[in-house]
Structure 1
Amino acid sequence: MDDEKAMELGRAAIGCEGGYTVFTGGGIVIRFRAPYSLLRYLRVKEWDRGYLVVDAEYAHSPEPVEEYIDLVPVLEDLYIDPADYLPRIREVVVDEG
């Protein structure tokens, strides 16, 4: 199954690019400012209706750092209804690209 088909079936991806966190899923791509020293997301530990727990690699830390991301306020700021959008996402994986 290709990545595009997996995204249609409820899988989303999180990654970072050029100082931004990039969340792709449910037919949309969301970009928001990431911490300045974020190098990459290593793994998604939990996904709960818009709330993510991830391990991240930072330039200033030799060990992975557990991070918490709440997508609900991000979605609301973008005028995307979380109650409509979030049920489409069943799983979130790290975008390795």
Structure 2
Amino acid sequence: METTAVLSNNGAFTTFSYGKYMIRFRTSLHLERYTRILEWDEGYLVVMAKYDNCDKEEEEYIDLKPILENLYFDAEKFLKPIKDVRIQNERY
């Protein structure tokens, strides 16, 4: 079983992909890209992000559990096999 998920962004949306699932949620229109994953803790991400209105990267926090629960996922079951997250930056 695959243990790596993928975080990406496109326009005003962030995408978290794992297995056959692609979870999309809104983000800032100013987000250019995610640059680094600092921490993955069973659904909680600490990432560095680059925004078009700031010269420096900024630390951001993403909590996937409430997002998954709002989509009627069993968040614990879905997140348990994920051991790490990588970034895939999309440009359109």
TM-score, L = length of structure 2: 0.92
Equivalent residue in structure 2 for 1:51, among 44, 64, 72 = 44
The equivalent of 1:15 in structure 2 is 8
Which of the pair is proportionally richer in helix?
1
Gap regions ≥5 residues in structure 2: none
SS at match of 1:62: coil
Gap regions ≥5 residues in structure 1: 1-7
Q: Any residues of structure 2 matched to 1:50-89 within 5 Å, and which?
A: 50-89=43-82
- Give CA deviations for 1:24-70 in whole Å, capped at 9, x if unaligned: 11321000001121010001110000000000000111000000000
Cα RMSD after superposing both structures: 1.1
TM-score, L = length of structure 1: 0.88
Aligned: 1:95 with 2:62:
no
Distance in 2 (CA, whole Å) between partners of 1:32 and 1:40 is 15
Aligned length: 90
Q: Provide runs of 4+ in structure 1 moved above 2 Å.
A: none
